[in-house]
Amino acid sequence: MNAGVPAIEAVALTKQFGAAHAVSNLSFQVPAGSITGFVGPNGAGKTTTLRMLLGLVTPTAGYATIAGVPFGQLRQPARVVGAVLDSRGAHPKRSTIDHLRVYAAAIGVPDHRADEVMAMVGLASAARQKVATHSLGMRQRLALATALLGDPQILVLDEPANGLDPEGMAWLREFLHAYASVGRTVLVSSHLLRELEQSVTRVVIVNRGTLVYQGDMEELRARHSARVFVTSSDPSALALALAAQGIVDAQMMTDGRLAVRGAPVPTIGAVAESAGVTVFGADTENVDLEQVFLTMTSGQYTAQPFTAPQPFQQAPAPGYPPAPPPGYAPQAGYPTQPPQAPTGTHPTAGGYPPGTYPPPPADRPGPGGPR
């Protein structure tokens, strides 16, 4: 790959499925040699984007390059980029090794490469096992092995941790580090930042098909810098000295410590020293990156808190249900109002379109239903 050329680049990528905007004007870069996380909530457009990068979905607008050229122009794509988009693609009646040999032949690599990648992902002991009997974790490993057949420079992995147990996740982390340590590139998606936090050096965060953040993990942590709790000889003097340096977010805690945001420990130490304040201790708060991520991506699916259903007690809506005959005692639980549509900002917010109420459950007969 030419120096300076990003391993992967998306430029104003846009994809509409009918009226649905899956991806909107999304631009980001994956530098060569990085392990970049591609993170967003369910439905944020991650899979659609990865499929556009790999030429499997045609963008409505924009374009993407792999090693500097569109995927379709790669002369030996399997040697440049390996992808795991869906671990369910393997034929259930094939054995592990047969599956890999079929794919090895398809991309023109020798059979022994199938044995190599099988060992690399820890499936050698299951070589003769049929895919149908594989666990979800084994299928993920097999999909990864398939992607590695061409010994690619770039790996694109869509939610590879799905179905892996903690041991499998730790293994995957180590594998990705080893893979990238020789200058190769990984783009790996997840709907949980926490899942990737220890694996990736860089992150692209998307929400509703648009870019929310791209940059180094360290930068993300620094941006949402946690507080430093300072124990000192004179917290008030320290707060004043910090304010004089433009560090104004400092709060006195009930235990006498000063909680300072927006300055690292060495800076606080230097300010304290110049103000003649002795610092006895400084503890940095841990940044909860998952909380940062949730805040950045909030609103895609904002649900109302669950409340137990209430018995129907409201006055009947006009004409619903039809007035019972005189002397008729309504059954407990008989609905007196049309079902209430959900509120919130889920795509169905605003409720079911008129006339499309879901059918009432069998024990809640609606109008015209059994009595």
- Residues of this chain that interact with ligand ATP (CB under 6 A) are 17, 20, 22, 40, 42-48, 191
Closest to ligand ATP by CB, 88 vs 371, is: 88
Query: Given the complex with ligand ATP, which of 47 and 140 has the nearer CB atom?
Result: 47
Q: Is the dihedral of CA 244, 245, 248, 253 positive or negative?
A: negative
Minimum distance from residue 194 beta carbon to ligand ATP (Å):
15
Q: How far is the CB of 357 from ligand ATP (least distance, A)?
A: 22
Is the alpha carbon torsion for 342, 348, 354, 356 positive or negative?
negative
Nearer residue to ligand ATP within complex by CB, 271 or 296: 296
Report the candidate in 9, 49, 13, 53 with the shortest Cα–Cα distance to residue 29: 9
Q: Are 163 and 140 in contact (CB under 8 A)?
A: yes
3-state secondary structure 143-197: HHHHHHCCCCCEEEECCCCCCCCHHHHHHHHHHHHHHHCCCCEEEEEECCHHHHC
Which residues, other chains included, contact 256 with Cβ-Cβ below 8 Å and sequence gap of 6+?
A: 231, 235
Peptide bond connecting 321 to the previous residue in cis, omega within 30 degrees of 0: yes
- End-to-end alpha carbon distance in the chain: 72
Q: Which is nearer to ligand ATP, 71 or 103 (CB)?
A: 71
Tell me how far, at minimum, the Cβ of 46 lies from ligand ATP, in Å.
4
Comparing CB distances to ligand ATP, the nearer of 44 and 230 is: 44
Nearer to ligand ATP by Cβ, of 206 and 268: the residue is: 206
What is the nearest approach in angstroms of ligand ATP to the Cβ of residue 29? 19
Shortest Cβ 244–ligand ATP spacing (Å): 47
**Tokens encoding 303:** 């649900």
Least distance to ligand ATP, CB of residue 253, Å: 40
Instruction: Report the residue number, 45 or 77, with the smaller CB distance to ligand ATP.
Output: 45
Least Å distance, CB 187 to ligand ATP, is 13
**Please, what is the minimum distance in Å from the beta carbon of residue 278 to ligand ATP?**
52
Per-residue tokens: 194:
């926490």
Q: Can you spell out the DSSP letters for 33-83?
A: T-EEEEE--TTSSHHHHHHHHTTSS--SEEEEEETTB-GGG-SSHHHHEEE
Q: Which sign, positive or negative, has the C-alpha torsion 56, 123, 199, 174? A: negative
CB of 69 to ligand ATP, least distance (A): 24
Helix (H) or strand (E) holding 25: strand 20-30
Q: Are 90 and 143 a contacting pair, CB within 8 Å? A: yes
Pure H helices in the chain = 46-53, 77-80, 96-107, 111-120, 136-148, 166-180, 193-196, 217-223, 235-244, 265-274, 289-296
Task: Return the number of the residue (53 or 239) whose C-beta is nearest ligand ATP.
Answer: 53
**Other Cβ atoms closer than 10 A to 306:** 6
Q: Which is nearer to ligand ATP, 13 or 114 (CB)?
A: 13
